[in-house]
């Protein structure tokens, strides 16, 4: 398995079926616009995890400092879930970029992944569409 940085929007667009689970009310057009924004943002890098000649996962990372980053989103292909792909991507990012801290914000659906991957997890309340929901600030430190 390998983690490759994607820089061409045309390549990134092939990841919609994997990454859409990281988006609120996803559509192909919304994904295209968001990825175009990320490509134009010099602080953001987009990665694909490749194995068995196909995409296994995807990660979007915002670099905040030389040793600190935030996951904008991380997703594993449906056929590859439960096989350690997400944990592999996190480990590769920490090692490759000598990160001392990797943070993420998530919801109930994904908080288990972050706990299992070694992130500290702190719940907080946030209001969406007039309704209070529980979100989680997740931080992995080295």
Helix (H, G, I), strand (E, B) or coil at 96: helix
Neighbours of 53 (CB within 10 A): 5
Nearest to 68 by CA among 36, 42, 43: 43
- pLDDT grade for 92, boundaries at 50, 70 and 90: very high
pLDDT digits (tens, 9 = 90+) for 35-49: 999 999 999 999 999
Let me know: does 93 contact 61? Beta carbons within 8 Å. Answer: yes
Average pLDDT, the chain: 94
pLDDT digits (tens, 9 = 90+) for 20-40: 988 888 999 999 999 999 999
CATH class of 2-141: alpha beta
Residue ranges of domains in the chain: 2-141
Average pLDDT, integer, range 121-135: 92
Let me know: does 133 contact 105? Beta carbons within 8 Å. Answer: no
Phi and psi at residue 48, to the nearest 5°: -120, 140
| Matching residue, tokens 């559509």 | 27
- pLDDT grade for 128, boundaries at 50, 70 and 90: confident
């Amino acid at each position: 398995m390998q983690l490759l940085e994607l820089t061409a929007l045309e390549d990134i667009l092939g990841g919609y079926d994997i990454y859409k689970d990281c988006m609120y009310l996803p559509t192909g057009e919304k994904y295209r616009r968001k990825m175009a924004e990320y490509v134009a943002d010099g602080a953001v890098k987009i990665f694909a995890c490749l194995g068995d000649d196909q995409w296994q996962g995807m990660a979007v990372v915002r670099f905040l400092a030389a040793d600190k980053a935030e996951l904008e989103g991380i997703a594993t292909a449906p056929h590859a879930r439960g096989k350690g792909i997400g944990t592999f991507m996190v480990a590769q990012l920490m090692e490759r970029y000598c990160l001392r801290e990797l943070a993420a914000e998530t919801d109930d659906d994904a908080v288990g992944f972050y706990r299992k991957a070694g992130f500290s997890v702190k719940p907080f309340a946030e209001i969406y569409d007039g309704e209070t929901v529980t979100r989680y600030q997740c931080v992995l430190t080295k």
